[in-house]
């Protein structure tokens, strides 16, 4: 700023200071002026004519208080907040004309504990009356919801009225001077208005109770608790319950304090529900709900134990903080486009503004007048009405939305049912086709089973024929040799030994046949476990060589240890049958050759003997059960040897094949077994 403007600025500031000082002086003069009672106006507001004196100990009487220094003029009515001090009010009045019945001094706060009024005209002080909740309702000078004291001066003139006030609640009150007739008329009008006011709430409560009983909507039940608590606090704050029932202050203050404390978490929960904050901040909502219920319980405990101000001030401060916080949050959510915040801004905005004004009045920030006294009442009514309409409307919207969802769901279910029917038709068609195929396959299986049955029948007949033939010859030899031994016991030893040898050979032949049959039965058992051991093949072949004439079996071994991990008993049977088959078809004086070689992970055991050529037609059936070729008919046997060799080879994880078929080259069967079995 340029220096040339400094003088002008200082001049304007000085003029503004003189104007403010003059306004303050005029205001002080106006406040100090007495209230004029001319008998023409029905009610006069004492605001602007009052002076205030604080008595911290409450030890002053009327005369001492009137002469005490420290009186300060009030710009309006009394708004001292929560204070333990006694407050004196001084009201100078000028009576021009005395109406019939005099005047009534009415204090708007129904929760004042002790109210005493004194009047002076020139000399000493005379008591006008006493009221307040510390006094039984039957002893109140005027039966009214708030303290009222009658002022009936003997003559016109100047008077000074002192009012002594004490309260554990917020010390905020409006002092009015009513003509008696106007006060009576106002009392009747006020009763009618209160009837309409609480009738509105009663109607709202009954409607929502019926709505909740029918719908069981959670928000409606919470709203019932919310509105019931608000109405409960309202009737106690207005002093209506105390006036009608004579409820003592020890109960009324505690009930009101507990009701106000409970209203804090209830209001928090209904605000969170309306804003649907649980969808945005679920953990924060749960934490705040638990915190505010804890605070409410603690403050209610303070109120019940007699510390009313200590319990109410935190509640009102938190309520102010809650109003500011939810208002800011609603603005933030509105900017983000959160739909529930739109209605919240309307319904709760009106309510929060009215409650904020009432709280600030109780805390001494706003003056006490008709607007600040009744703004919370009007704001609460509008808030409850809007919230009620919103709850019913939201339930109706949700009901319609659910109906649409159900209709869409029904249509979707119908479509799904149609698709399901189509799938069922396709599935049933496929099942029928599958059933037809299954029946065809079953028919094939039945035919195969029938063929197997026929084959088994043929095999059974062959087995019976073979047993009757194969068993008859050894038994005949045994029987004949035994008879010869029995008839000629004195025969030479050589003949007896020959006959015993015949019996032994026939018995061994029978034992071999029985062993083959038992092995066949064991191989048929699907769950027969292999008895795996470490099997030394050269040692096993050396043991089998002893069963044949010396030099009949010649073994040749390739490099390697030739050790298998397998079932030794099965391998013994397989090798014995191979050697017996080769010996049976080898000419007298011929040699059966056994070649053992190791190739990779497989051990090959090739058994060869010189013999006649095996026709191709017989080569394919050599390993069939009970089958015996033309060359084998000249020798005894059951037709199980090669069949058992193949079965054992497959069981041990190997194979057996006919490598050469005889004629120009020897007949050679090759048994291949893995050195290490996987299982």
Domain boundaries, the chain: 1-31, 33-187, 194-404, 407-465, 471-528, 529-674
pLDDT score for 115: 95
In angstroms, how far is CA 289 from the centroid of its own chain?
20
**Cβ(142)–Cβ(133) below 8 Å:** no
Among 146-160, 272-286, 351-365, which is the least confidently predicted range? 351-365
Q: Higher pLDDT residue, 544 or 499?
A: 544
pLDDT at residue 177 above 90? yes
Proportion of the chain in helix, strand, coil states, percent, rounded to 5:
60, 15, 25
Residue written as tokens 């037609």? 617
pLDDT at residue 21 above 60? no
Gap between the Cα atoms of 108 and 79, Å rounded: 12
pLDDT score for 22: 45
Name, of 175-179, 542-546, 644-648, the range with top average pLDDT: 175-179
Averaged pLDDT, 566-578: 84
Among 10-14, 44-48, 360-364, 443-447, which is the least confidently predicted range? 10-14
Among 9-13, 301-305, 321-325, 667-671, which is the least confidently predicted range? 9-13
Name, of 26-35, 47-56, 245-254, 609-618, the range with top average pLDDT: 47-56
The DSSP code for 562 is -
Averaged pLDDT, 104-130: 89
pLDDT score for 678: 39
Averaged confidence pLDDT in the chain: 81
pLDDT at residue 29 above 50? no
pLDDT score for 363: 62
pLDDT score for 298: 94
pLDDT at residue 4 above 50? no
The DSSP code sequence of 162-229 is: EEEEE-SS--EE-EEEEEHHHHHHHHHHHHHHHHHHHHHHHHHHHHHHHHHHHH--HHHHHHHHHHHH
**Cβ(554)–Cβ(594) below 8 Å:** yes
Same fold, 194-404 and 529-674: no
pLDDT score for 20: 44
Structure pTM? 0.54
Averaged pLDDT, 163-184: 89
pLDDT at residue 420 above 80? yes
Does the CA dihedral 425-430-431-432 come out positive or negative? positive
pLDDT score for 92: 92
Condensed to tens digits (0 to 9), the pLDDT of residues 313-330 reads 888 888 888 888 888 898
Gap between the Cα atoms of 458 and 453, Å rounded: 8
Could you tell me which CATH number the domain at 194-404 has?
1.20.1070
pLDDT score for 524: 56
Condensed to tens digits (0 to 9), the pLDDT of residues 361-381 reads 666 677 767 777 778 778 888
Domain 33-187 fold is Immunoglobulin-like (2.60.40)
pLDDT score for 295: 93
Query: Which two tokens mark 222?
Result: 């919470």
pLDDT score for 5: 36
Condensed to tens digits (0 to 9), the pLDDT of residues 494-540 reads 777 776 777 766 676 666 666 655 555 555 555 556 778 888 888 88
Q: Residue 177: beta bridge partners?
A: 44, 105
Gap between the Cα atoms of 27 and 36, Å rounded: 17
Structural class in CATH, domain 529-674? alpha beta
Gap between the Cα atoms of 608 and 593, Å rounded: 5
Counting Cα atoms < 13 Å in the Cβ hemisphere of 334 gives 13
Name, of 18-27, 128-137, 567-576, the range with top average pLDDT: 128-137
pLDDT score for 367: 73
pLDDT score for 479: 77
Q: With pLDDT > 70 as the criterion, what percentage of the chain qualifies?
A: 84
Gap between the Cα atoms of 278 and 338, Å rounded: 13
The β-bridge relationship of strands 592-599 and 602-609 is antiparallel
Averaged pLDDT, 75-101: 87
Q: Which of 59, 119, 131 is nearest to 89 (CA)?
A: 119
pLDDT at residue 630 above 80? no
Averaged pLDDT, 209-219: 85
Confidence of residue 18 (pLDDT cuts 50, 70, 90): low
Residues 6+ apart with CB under 8 A from 92: 32, 33, 34, 35, 49, 158, 159, 160, 161
Name, of 165-179, 352-366, 482-496, the range with top average pLDDT: 165-179
């Amino acid at each position: 700023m340029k220096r040339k403007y400094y003088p002008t600025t200082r001049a304007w500031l000085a003029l503004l200071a003189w104007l403010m000082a003059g306004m303050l002086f005029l205001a002080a003069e106006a406040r100090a002026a007495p209230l004029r009672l001319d008998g023409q106006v029905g009610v006069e507001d004492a605001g602007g004519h009052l002076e205030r004196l604080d008595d911290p100990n409450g030890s002053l009487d009327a005369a001492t208080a009137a002469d005490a220094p420290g009186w300060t003029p009030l710009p309006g009515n009394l708004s001292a907040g929560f204070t333990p001090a006694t407050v004196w009010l001084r009201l100078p009045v000028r009576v021009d004309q005395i109406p019939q019945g005099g005047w009534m001094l009415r204090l708007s706060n129904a929760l004042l504990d002790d109210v005493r009024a004194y009047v002076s005209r020139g000399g000493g002080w005379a008591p006008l009356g006493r009221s307040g909740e510390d006094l039984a309702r039957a002893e109140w000078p005027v039966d009214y919801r708030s303290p009222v004291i009658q002022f009936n001066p003997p003559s016109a003139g100047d008077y000074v009225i002192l009012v002594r006030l004490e309260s554990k609640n917020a010390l905020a009150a409006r002092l009015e001077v009513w003509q008696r007739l106007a006060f009576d008329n106002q009392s009747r009008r006020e009763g009618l208005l209160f009837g309409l006011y609480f009738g509105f709430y009663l109607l709202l409560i009954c409607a929502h109770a019926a709505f909740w009983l029918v719908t069981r909507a959670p928000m409606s039940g919470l709203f019932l608790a919310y509105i019931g608590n608000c109405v409960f606090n309202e009737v106690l704050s207005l002093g209506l319950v105390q006036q009608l029932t004579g409820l003592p202050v020890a109960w009324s203050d505690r009930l009101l304090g507990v009701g106000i404390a409970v209203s804090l978490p209830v209001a928090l929960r209904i605000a969170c529900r309306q804003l649907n904050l649980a969808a945005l901040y679920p953990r924060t909502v749960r934490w705040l709900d638990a915190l505010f219920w804890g605070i409410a319980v603690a403050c209610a405990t303070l109120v019940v134990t007699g510390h009313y101000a200590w319990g109410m001030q935190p509640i009102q401060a938190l309520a102010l903080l809650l109003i500011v916080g939810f208002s800011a949050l609603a603005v933030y959510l509105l900017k983000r486009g959160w739909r529930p915040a739109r209605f919240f801004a309307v319904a709760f905005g009106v309510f929060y503004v009215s409650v904020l004004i009432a709280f600030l009045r109780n805390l001494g920030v706003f003056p006490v007048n008709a607007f600040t006294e009744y703004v919370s009442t009007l704001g609460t009514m509008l808030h409850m009405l809007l919230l009620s309409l919103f709850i019913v409307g939201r339930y109706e919207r949700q009901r319609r939305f659910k109906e649409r969802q159900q209709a869409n769901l029904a249509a979707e279910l119908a479509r799904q049912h149609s698709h399901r029917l189509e799938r069922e038709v396709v599935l049933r068609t496929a099942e029928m086709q599958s059933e037809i195929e299954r029946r065809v396959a079953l028919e094939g299986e039945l035919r195969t089973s029938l063929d197997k049955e026929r084959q088994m029948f043929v095999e059974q007949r062959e087995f019976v024929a073979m047993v009757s033939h194969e068993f008859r010859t050894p038994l005949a030899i045994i029987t004949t040799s035994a008879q010869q031994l029995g008839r000629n016991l004195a025969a030479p030893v050589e003949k007896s030994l020959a006959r015993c040898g015949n019996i032994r050979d026939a018995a061994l032949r029978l034992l071999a046949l029985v062993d083959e049959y038992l092995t066949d039965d064991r191989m048929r058992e699907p769950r027969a476990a292999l008895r795996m051991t470490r099997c030394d093949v050269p040692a096993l072949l050396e043991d089998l060589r002893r069963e044949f004439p010396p030099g009949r079996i010649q073994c040749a071994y390739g490099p390697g240890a030739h050790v298998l991990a397998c079932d030794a008993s099965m391998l013994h049977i397989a090798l014995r049958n191979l050697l017996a088959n080769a010996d049976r078809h080898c000419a007298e004086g011929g040699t059966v050759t056994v070649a053992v070689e190791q190739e990779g992970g497989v051990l090959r055991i090739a058994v060869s003997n010189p013999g006649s050529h095996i026709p191709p037609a017989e080569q394919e059936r050599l390993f069939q059960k009970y089958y015996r070729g033309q060359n084998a008919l000249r020798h005894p046997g059951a037709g199980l040897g090669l069949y058992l060799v193949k079965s054992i080879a497959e069981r041990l994880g190997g194979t057996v094949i006919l490598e050469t078929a005889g004629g120009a080259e020897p007949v050679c069967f090759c048994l291949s077994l893995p050195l290490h079995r996987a299982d």
